[in-house]
């Protein structure tokens, strides 16, 4: 993806602001902010794999991945509302698959709120299957929907 790069420590504030913009609609829908809103992005940039897509002086999108013992976790996909609907989220998920292969992880996992139907549809269209649902630990509505995709060739 043209312009996509790994985040640098100086990007932390911009990644946090992007998360607030990208998840604003979901925050209203589910009665509170999703986990990526208000996260410590300085720590995530240091400890996880964070990609950013800059445009001009701002960020258009970010992807946060955590390498676990037996899988890669897609922790956050954030796309600025003005850029949504252009396939950026799909392209970021392809980057996640490439990263999983580079990390020798044959499985990608993610989770989302069950009230985020458009996310569930996107992930299903990309080959992710639902494994289970759990009550949301912080919010009054919605369940946490856990999904997985097994990658070939790993």
Predicted pLDDT at 154? 65
At 52-106, the pLDDT tens digits run 999 988 899 999 999 999 999 999 999 999 999 999 999 999 999 999 999 999 9
Under 8 Å between Cβ of 92 and 56: no
Under 8 Å between Cβ of 46 and 40: no
The torsion defined by the Cα of 141, 37, 43 and 91, in degrees rounded to 10, comes to 100
At 99-134, the pLDDT tens digits run 999 999 999 999 999 988 999 999 999 999 999 999
How far out from the chain centre does Cα 74 lie?
Answer: 5
Using DSSP, state whether 139 is helix, strand or coil. coil
How far out from the chain centre does Cα 70 lie?
Answer: 18
- For the chain, domains (ranges, CATH) are 5-150 (3.40.630.30)
Where would I find the beta strands (DSSP E) of the chain?
5-6, 49-55, 58-67, 72-79, 107-113, 129-135, 143-150
The reported pTM is: 0.94
């Amino acid at each position: 993806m043209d312009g996509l790069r790994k985040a640098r420590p100086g990007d932390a504030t911009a990644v946090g602001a992007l998360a607030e913009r990208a998840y604003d609609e979901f925050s209203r829908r589910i009665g509170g902010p999703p986990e990526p809103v208000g996260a410590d992005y300085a720590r995530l940039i240091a400890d996880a794999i964070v990609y950013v897509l800059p445009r001009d002086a701002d960020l258009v999108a970010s992807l946060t991945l955590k390498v676990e013992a037996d899988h890669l976790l897609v922790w956050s996909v954030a796309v600025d509302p003005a850029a949504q609907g252009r396939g950026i989220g799909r392209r970021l998920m392809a980057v996640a698959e490439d990263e999983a292969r580079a990390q020798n992880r044959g499985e990608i996992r993610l989770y989302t709120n069950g009230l985020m139907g458009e996310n569930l549809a996107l992930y299903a269209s990309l080959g992710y299957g639902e494994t289970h649902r759990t009550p949301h630990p912080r919010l009054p509505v919605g369940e946490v929907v856990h999904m997985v995709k097994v990658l070939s060739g790993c």
